[in-house]
Amino acid sequence: MKIFVESIDKGIWDAIKNGPFTFKIENEKVIYEKPWSQWTEQESKKAQYGYIAKNIITSSLSSDVFFRVSQCESAKEMWDILVVTHEGTNDVKRARKYTLTQEYEMFRMKKGESLVEVQKRFTHIANHLMSLGKTFDKEELNIKVLKCLDRSWQPKVTAISESKDLTSLTIG
């Protein structure tokens, strides 16, 4: 979503992450919100980012999810609800990262599983861990995949390990 919104205009993403733009007037040491009728053209354009952001967010949601955020005043409010709903709180993320790390560490090829299925499962776990902030280098991922293969793959694993630079191979 971030990539899509930023491709339209970074100001729209800013409105999602930081909230709607507001304009203040200071008059005799009193600060109040500038009335819409007094906005400059530049301020109007900046304020429009929030409305565009709300439109993009609501247009991309299913009706069930839409009703969760339809009463929100700003795109930031909507986004914050969606983040907690889909990514969870920090405690949930930490628990997911712990569980996925265990899955990664215990990862093994299943009996009767094809190499494509192994690669798909492994990539799924690694991608989820990376989305939660875990970093891997190519060599680490390659060694992990080679070590998880069953005995029938051992001759090929040995040949790959001896003949290839594991820092430059890609799993896919």
- Cα–chain center distance at 52: 21
Summarize pLDDT for 50-78 with one digit per residue, the tens: 999 999 999 999 998 899 899 999 999 99
Q: For position 92, what pLDDT does the model report?
A: 81
Alpha-carbon span 7 to 47, nearest angstrom: 18
Summarize pLDDT for 3-46 with one digit per residue, the tens: 999 999 999 999 999 998 888 888 777 888 888 888 899 999 99
Q: For residue 26, what are its two tokens?
A: 């200071």
Angle at CA of residue 43, ends 40 and 45, nearest 5°: 110
Cα separation values, 84 from 19, 35, 90, 130, Å: 17, 33, 9, 18
Strand, coil or helix: 98: helix
Q: For position 31, what pLDDT does the model report?
A: 83
The terminus-to-terminus CA distance of the chain in angstroms comes to: 24
Give me the residue label for tokens 């301020």: 43
Q: For position 168, what pLDDT does the model report?
A: 67
Summarize pLDDT for 131-167 with one digit per residue, the tens: 888 999 888 898 898 899 988 888 888 887 777 766 6
Strand, coil or helix: 26: strand
Summarize pLDDT for 72-119 with one digit per residue, the tens: 999 999 999 998 887 777 788 888 889 999 999 999 999 999 989 999
Alpha-carbon span 8 to 1, nearest angstrom: 11
pTM: 0.56
